[in-house]
Structure 1
């Protein structure tokens, strides 16, 4: 991709998640946060396509807000938890969180994160979208009643897909992770870096 030296890419994270903010900050790239402000509803039926569709919806909603920016580069993602084809979203309350965790207890489930890059091509100026996903298997030990009560009492389950966050007290019952840890957090950092290199090559320096 050829580029003019005066061009500067504006990296925008389309998420209010503090966990995604922290992970992206590890790349030491300057970025701003703009939220999508939309209902997360997808007409897709498969977990992977649902995650990709929702990530794309978020990216387009954010891109509309920054369309006047010369070269915006929006990154959005969506994470879902899946067991036997059933999708687990964020629980509405502690009772639903308990139900979800009871179903995941002593089982291996999948965490799927869809990611969208929405940006203006440096050569043509046209808007392009690049979609990809990652999937990680997570195995829970049996969540005993006392452990369940403890975890629910922490409040950690209420704002996360699948009613748990891998970087918190849920580590007391997570026995195995097969795949990307950061993907379970909600932002597959290794894949994000790899896909940025594919899309931008040496032009990633234009974020500075």
Structure 2
């Protein structure tokens, strides 16, 4: 097959194995480039904050790319309960506090995604999913915390991991809760003319 002249190089600006797996389902070749940022935003709403941090991640990679035709995809996920934003806990005690707050309640997962191409312009969007938790058994909670699976995930849990037992119901995109809203990513790639250039 003749290679297209307008072929875009796809770059995932994330070291997350979950995002890598989900993007891989599109059967589009991509490379991974990451850059450390503080993941801090002064925006007001959780949605704006997630979009801002996602764009920061993409821009940090953009600054280190040489010439070429490329599309950077970056992402950020937040958990929101009653207006409180839960990011990554970072340690076991923070994870325990987060999960005890989420126990028996319904929260929202917001995942923002950013596209940045060679023009340097960013396209930001987000998806939301409602997630309801069972009352978490204290013994199961401690067993889960001992695995340290919670430390690198927004809200201290991953829907695809051992904490799946905490969840009673989700309303919306499953992949959004994992950290990469695949359905919306495809939609936005098509809307913005990237889809055919990547395939």
TM-score, structure 2 as length reference = 0.95
Name the counterpart of 1:205: 196
TM-superposed CA distance for 1:204, in Å, is 2.5
Q: Unaligned stretches of 5+ in structure 2?
A: none
Name the counterpart of 1:103: 101
- Report the number of matched residues: 196
Report if aligned partners of 2:80, 2:108 keep a CA contact under 8 Å in 1. yes
Q: Distance in 1 between matches of 2:187 and 2:167?
A: 27
Report if aligned partners of 2:186, 2:195 keep a CA contact under 8 Å in 1. no
**Which runs of structure 2 are paired with 1:67-86 in the superposition (5 Å)?**
68-86=66-84
Q: Does 1:140 align with 2:117?
A: no
Q: Distance in 1 between matches of 2:80 and 2:133?
A: 13
Three-state SS of the structure 2 residue aligned to 1:37 is coil
TM-superposed CA distance for 1:169, in Å, is 0.9
Q: Unaligned stretches of 5+ in structure 1?
A: 121-125
Three-state SS of the structure 2 residue aligned to 1:147 is helix
Deviations 1:7-31 (A, max 9, x none): 2211000000000000000100000
TM-score, structure 1 as length reference = 0.91
Task: Name whichever of 150-159 and 172-181 sits farther off.
Answer: 150-159
Task: Name whichever of 143-152 and 41-50 sits farther off.
Answer: 143-152
TM-superposed CA distance for 1:147, in Å, is 1.5
